[in-house]
Each structure stands twice: as structure tokens, then as C-alpha cells.
Amino acid sequence: MKELKKVAREGIALAGGPAAILLQIAHPSVGQGVADHSTFTKRAIARVQYTQMYIYVMIFGTPEDKASMKAWVDQAHARVKSEAGPRPYSALDPELQLWVAITIYASMVGMYELIYGPLPPAMAERVFQAYSVMGTSLQVPKDMWPKNLKEFRMYWCDVIENQLRVTPDAELVLKEIFHPVKSVPLWARPAVLVAMPFIRRLTIEQLPPSLREQFHLKSSKSSRMISGLFVSGMTCVYPFTPLFVRQLPKTYSMRLFRKKLKKRGGQLVKP
């Protein structure tokens, strides 16, 4: 867990978040559930906050924190289901939760390694197993999590090649992710307008080529250049930034959780 915390505390790891979301919604069942039961346009900031809060609580929280967060997420997921239509789905489905958890691992560790370099092989295996908490804290059985990084890569390639399919629902969410101005406060809109062209290009370069093609996103000279400049710049600057700055997202998310917990009398879900 100590090694997991060393990776997860770094705010830069969240830079892979948009790519993780696109990988998630490209799974037809996840994409339909998101489209049917959420409004990215109106609540994009809240969704990002809650996802980050879940990640950080499950890694840095106390056992009581984790139990409270699990109950809250389970309650929310219980409403996200449909037995009608061509693709029945449930947010409590362990297979869907496994894919979402795997994308969180891949995006966070992938971004960490871009800045700090590859993890030593033995440590990489331990960190991968520790990240199973993203799924096993919910409905994913421990034995469903890949046993090692070799099995992870096989699973990853199989899902990307054989299960991901960009639907109209996923394309709609893509537009809302890449054009989120309406969902952010007025004071933040100028910063978002400036940052989004860079975030879009970085995200494009993080996606598997086959998925880029399905989303009608193209790797271009400008996207490769901007992505390369971002990584080069962060590699030179980010590791030397004070730790308290690098872990601001973690600090903020944990404070948000504590505030929400206090507001609800110590329990996110009433018995």
C-alpha cells in the first residue's frame, strides 16, 4: 500500500483522466449507462470530483472512510441499470466495474511513468495488485483481477480489440468532455477555454489507435508535438515541485469527503 500511495498521491497522475473516461464509455454498456443516467454537460465538475474522491478515499482513507464511501457508491450504482433495450446493463456488474477500475490503474500509472520513468518490474507488479482496490472495494471479486501484468496486458488487448465499440452515446459524451465550458463556473471558463485544446491533444495521443479511429480523432503533427512538449516540460519541472503542491488534488478530495461526511452526520448513507 505504501508504494501505491507514492504513485497515487501525485496530482499529475490525473492528467490521464479524460483518456480513462473515453476508454470507459467506449464499452457499450458503460457508455449507455452514462448516457442514460448522468448529465456530463450540467454536472461534469461534480462527476470528476466524486470520481477523484472515490479514488483517494479508497487509497488514503481509514477503514471507516472506505466503508462509508463504498455504501455511498453502491447506493448510486444501484439506480444505474436497465433490462430493456438491446444492451441490458447494471453499474453493479463486476465485469463492467473491472474495466472501469483497470482504466483508472492504466491512466494513473501510465501518466506517473511518463514523468518519473518506468517502475521497477517487481514494484510495478505490486502496484498493479494494490490498484485492485479500485474494483474489489465494490463488486469485483479478488480472483477476477488479473494475477499479474502479463494477464493485465492480455485482458487489456482483448477488451480493446473485441469489446469496445463507440456508440452514439459515447460520441455524445466525448463532445461534452471536450467542450465542458457550460458545466464549469463562470470564473473558471477562461482557464478551461485556454486549457482544453491542449488537453484534447494530450488525450488523443493517450488513446489506443483503434479507439482513436472509432472516435474519429486523428493523431496529428500538432497533437504529437503538444503531447511531447507537455511530457518533456513536466518531466523537467514537476518532480521538483514541492510535494504539498503535487498532491493538492488528493488534499482537496479528502477535505471534500470529510466535509460531506460531517454534513451528513458521519455517514454518507443513512441506515
pTM of the model: 0.92
DSSP state of 148: S
How many structural domains compose the chain? Answer: 1
228 falls within a domain: no
User: DSSP H helical segments within 163-247, as ranges?
Assistant: 168-178, 189-206, 209-214, 221-237, 243-246
Is 85's pLDDT higher than 80?
A: no
Of 40-49, 70-79, 111-120, 237-246, least confident by mean pLDDT is 40-49
The whole domain housing 120 covers: 2-183+242-263
Burial of 113 (0-12, 13-18, 19+ CB in 10 A): middle
96 falls within a domain: yes
234 falls within a domain: no
Q: Is there a contact between 31 and 167 (Cβ–Cβ < 8 Å)?
A: yes
194 falls within a domain: no
268 falls within a domain: no
200 falls within a domain: no
Higher pLDDT, 197 or 206: 206
197 falls within a domain: no
247 falls within a domain: yes
- At 27 the three-state DSSP class reads coil
- 38's CB contacts (< 8 A; 6+ apart) are 47
